[in-house]
Amino acid sequence: MDQQAIETIVRRVIEELNHPGAGSGKRGIYSSLDDAVAAATMAQKKIHSIALRERIIEEIRAITREHARELSEMAVRETGFGRVEDKVRKHLLVANKTPGPEVVVPMVMSGDYGLSLMENAAWGVIASVTPSTNPSATVVNNSISMIAAGNAVVFAPHPAAKAVSQRAVQLVNEASVRAGGPDGIVTTVADPNLDNARKLFVFPGINLLVVTGGDAVVEAARSVTDKRLIAAGPGNPPVVVDDTANIERAAISIVQGASFDNNIICADEKEIVVVESVADALKAALQRHGAVFINDQQADAVARLVLKGYPGDSPSVASQWVGRDAAVIARAAGFEVPAETRLLIVEGERDHVFAVTELMMPVLAMIRARNADEAITVGVALEMGNRHTAAMHSRNIDN
């Protein structure tokens, strides 16, 4: 064991001795919701200093970089979703790029009536619901941005990502302690479930809810009318490619985006709408960069595999196939594609089941349109009023 590793172990032992009993022996993790909220409330009162928050956040960034692979491997192992290497990139992104205290800037105004200083006030304790698709990355991202503004956080993680979410909570608290900050700056419960999340939504003294998840949890939070809510729910983002686009660049972007972490990010491209005159060129470019086009029979086999109630009027995604590799899905559906395949794409009409369903897996539909106006109209319709995300590749500013 090298000297640096020994020093790291010694430092952690000293930290534990200086903060005994935190989180019932598991930093930030509590047996009851009452205890989790109480701990966060106490910790929040200790981070009024912006200088302290800056130190805490620098340590969160450092500890996330240090444990990015551990968290990524834990997430894939626990949930079965996504790709480890993509998750490593995702953790490094949130560690390095999530805005911190530098964006919380006071404003001064002077005039005939004197001088006014305006500063943003912290909410206090924020309730944050995190998803199974991006569990620990969401914990880290929310922790940095919320602590930066002087808040503590009580997390309600998805039960299917319990272990990795709790590990992220522990690491954030370890970072806080390293920086001289309080333990319990972020907390959670040992047994997360929807009932605990609902209790958190109405918990006295918590006035801001930040919810990332599916329809059920977003609707449960929305029903709490007396609290401010920031919610990121389902989406079905289209990507439109018109006849002026840089086709090679569009293809690279679509494959990289739609296949990143096997399409479990809700802002990833979920269907392609392309102008007819460049559709064949785009198809060829997509195949050069890792996509495989499948025929109608293969697409039907995939649909029967990954959609419950298909064929039928209201098919829904079978969760066991969310975030799986394209080659794994193809093999289970009865056909083979190269192991390195990033996307499975089928050409279809605008009502194709892969176009109107948010699959959250590397399976897309490609729809042809006569011109850019029609492509945009189809894309808007497929976004289905979620007002979530849409993308376009074009060099025509009017389009």
Q: pLDDT tens-digit profile of 84-96? A: 999 999 999 999 9
Best CA proximity match to 198, nearest among 187, 212, 209: 209
Mapping DSSP onto H, E and C, the string for 208-249 reads: EEEEECCHHHHHHHHCCCCCEEEEECCCCCEEEECCCCCHHH
Q: What are the Cα distances from residue 76, in Å, to 132, 220, 333, 335?
A: 10, 27, 22, 25
Which residues 6+ apart lie within 8 Å of 236 measured at CB?
A: 270, 271, 356, 357, 358, 382, 383, 384, 386, 388
Mean pLDDT along residues 305-334: 94
Q: If pLDDT is split at 50, 70 and 90, which confidence band does 392 have?
A: very high
Best CA proximity match to 263, nearest among 323, 329, 342, 318: 323
Q: What are the Cα distances from residue 233, in Å, to 210, 329, 346?
A: 11, 25, 26
Q: Give the pLDDT confidence score for residue 123 in this predicted structure.
A: 95
pLDDT digits (tens, 9 = 90+) for 54-65: 999 999 999 999
**Contact, 156 vs 129, CB < 8 A?**
yes
With left for phi above 0 and alpha for psi between -120 and 50, is residue 82 left, alpha or beta?
Answer: left
More confident residue, 74 or 16: 74
Tell me which of 121-135, 194-208, 257-271 is least confident. 194-208
Question: Buried (b) or exposed (e) across 64-85, using 16+ Cβ within 10 A?
Answer: beebbeebbebbbebbebbbee
Q: If pLDDT is split at 50, 70 and 90, which confidence band does 233 have?
A: confident
Mean pLDDT of the chain: 91
pLDDT of residue 24 exceeding 80: no
> Over pLDDT 70: what percentage of the chain?
93
CA distance 252 to 393: 11
CA distance 26 to 24: 6
Q: Give the pLDDT confidence score for residue 379 in this predicted structure.
A: 97
CA distance 185 to 57: 12
pLDDT of residue 15 exceeding 70: no
Q: Give the pLDDT confidence score for residue 17 in this predicted structure.
A: 41
Mean pLDDT along residues 281-301: 97
CA distance 385 to 367: 19
Q: Give the pLDDT confidence score for residue 225 in this predicted structure.
A: 66
Q: What are the Cα distances from residue 146, in Å, to 42, 121, 152, 273, 323?
A: 16, 12, 7, 37, 28
Q: Please, what sign has the CA dihedral across residues 56, 58, 59, 65?
A: positive
DSSP 269-287: --EEEEEHHHHHHHHHHHH
Question: Buried (b) or exposed (e) across 148-157, using 16+ Cβ within 10 A?
Answer: bbbbbbbbbb
Mean pLDDT along residues 36-62: 96
Fill in the amino acid letter for 41: T
Extract the tokens encoding 87: 């998750």
pLDDT of residue 14 exceeding 60: no
pLDDT digits (tens, 9 = 90+) for 362-389: 999 999 999 999 999 999 999 999 889 9
pLDDT digits (tens, 9 = 90+) for 143-200: 999 999 999 999 999 999 999 999 999 999 999 999 999 999 999 999 998 888 889 9
More confident residue, 221 or 264: 264
Residue 311: asked if its preceding bond is cis (omega within 30°), the reply is yes
Cα distance between the two ends of the chain: 60
CA distance 156 to 218: 13
Q: Give the pLDDT confidence score for residue 20 in this predicted structure.
A: 40
Give the position of tokens 């001795």: 17
Q: Give the pLDDT confidence score for residue 2 in this predicted structure.
A: 56
Q: Give the pLDDT confidence score for residue 226 in this predicted structure.
A: 78
pLDDT digits (tens, 9 = 90+) for 341-358: 999 999 999 999 999 999
Q: If pLDDT is split at 50, 70 and 90, which confidence band does 3 have?
A: low
Q: Give the pLDDT confidence score for residue 197 in this predicted structure.
A: 86
